[in-house]
């Protein structure tokens, strides 16, 4: 196979999959799609030809910098394998996109698709995208805009839904788990060193504990502007998260 020349345009197949991953009726995802349309593939990331670096000009390709947070993720399952598609958050006019395939050739157009799912279409009250199961939803308001922290034990995923942008921010388990361990003062190595236990034991954590853990995670990574809320007259902080009651 000849070497790929850069810069290049996204292929039609790549565009079709990215359009699916970025729904046009969600303002946050639509902004990302419009930004991608203005860019070209200028090179490859650290994972090779299926790790694309996009920018609007031919800049120096930095393959050693840390990856930005995941902005959108989806999976397409085929008869003999599957493909994952990951879009990272834009930084300094550049976007990293990964198309990783397993068991099939990434170039083939003749494989039968069995199903697909992504987290971009999820709305409060809906089942989890991968397993179709119920999720734990914890809601809070920020500047009169609804946000929902979602924990899907069957999908083994955590994400934050922002009503204003309709974006679902995927939250890394390990970082969030470290914060919940600190919040609950858990030091037992059998628990602390096994983040996957979070999904089998999620019911043990209160909404207030989850809220405090998210606030700690947010201060380092997501950086939403969160209000400080206290009980009237001072004292302990109000558990500003509350369980969504289906309204």
Per-residue pLDDT tens digits for 91-121: 989 999 999 999 887 565 668 899 999 999 9
Number of domains present in the structure of the chain: 2
d(CA 71, CA 43): 20
How do residues 50-88 score in pLDDT, each as one tens digit?
899 999 887 656 656 667 899 999 999 999 899 999 999
**Which pLDDT band holds residue 235 (cuts at 50, 70, 90)?**
very low
d(CA 208, CA 243): 10
The answer to whether residues 165 and 195 belong to one domain is: yes
27 is a domain residue: yes
pLDDT of residue 60: 59
Between 87 and 215, name the one with better pLDDT: 87
The answer to whether residues 78 and 144 belong to one domain is: no
Query: What is the length of the chain?
Result: 247
d(CA 113, CA 63): 32
- Measured from the Cβ of residue 129, the count of other Cβ atoms closer than 10 Å reads 22
The answer to whether residues 41 and 102 belong to one domain is: yes
User: pTM here?
Assistant: 0.84
Domain span at residue 156? 136-243
Range from 16-30, 46-60, 168-182, 202-216 carrying the lowest mean pLDDT? 46-60
The answer to whether residues 114 and 168 belong to one domain is: no
Quick one: which H or E segment has residue 156? none
pLDDT of residue 247: 29
Using alpha carbons, select from 139, 107, 152, 145 the residue that is nearest to residue 11: 107
110 is a domain residue: yes
Task: Summarize the confidence of residues 213-219 as an average pLDDT.
Answer: 87
Range from 31-45, 50-64, 225-239 carrying the lowest mean pLDDT? 225-239
The answer to whether residues 100 and 17 belong to one domain is: yes
Residue 224, Ramachandran bin (φ over 0: left; ψ between -120 and 50: alpha; else beta): beta
Provide the pairing of β-strand 157-162 with 167-170.
antiparallel
Quick one: which H or E segment has residue 140? strand 136-142
Task: Summarize the confidence of residues 11-38 as an average pLDDT.
Answer: 97
The answer to whether residues 160 and 195 belong to one domain is: yes
Is the pLDDT assigned to residue 154 strictly greater than 70? Answer: yes
């Amino acid at each position: 196979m000849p070497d790929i020349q850069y810069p290049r345009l996204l292929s039609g197949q790549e565009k079709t999959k990215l359009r699916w991953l970025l729904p046009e009726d969600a303002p946050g995802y639509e902004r990302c799609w419009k930004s991608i349309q203005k860019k070209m593939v200028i090179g490859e990331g650290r994972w090779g030809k299926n790790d694309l670096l996009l920018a609007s000009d031919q800049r120096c390709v930095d393959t050693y910098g840390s990856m930005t947070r995941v902005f959108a993720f989806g999976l397409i399952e085929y008869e003999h394998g599957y493909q994952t598609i990951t879009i990272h958050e834009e930084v300094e006019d550049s976007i990293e996109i990964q198309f990783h395939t397993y068991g099939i050739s990434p170039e083939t157009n003749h494989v039968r698709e069995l199903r697909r799912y992504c987290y971009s279409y999820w709305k409060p009250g809906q089942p989890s995208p991968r397993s179709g199961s119920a999720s734990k939803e914890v809601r809070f308001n920020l500047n009169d805009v609804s946000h929902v922290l979602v924990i899907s034990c069957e999908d083994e995923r955590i994400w934050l839904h922002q009503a204003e942008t309709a974006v679902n921010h995927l939250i890394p388990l390990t970082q969030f788990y470290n914060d919940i361990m600190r919040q609950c003062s858990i030091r037992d190595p059998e628990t602390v060193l096994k983040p996957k236990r979070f999904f089998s034991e999620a019911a043990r954590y209160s909404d207030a504990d989850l809220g405090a853990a998210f606030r700690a995670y947010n201060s380092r990574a997501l950086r939403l502007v969160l209000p400080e809320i206290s009980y009237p007259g001072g004292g302990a902080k109000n558990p500003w998260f509350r369980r969504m009651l289906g309204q």
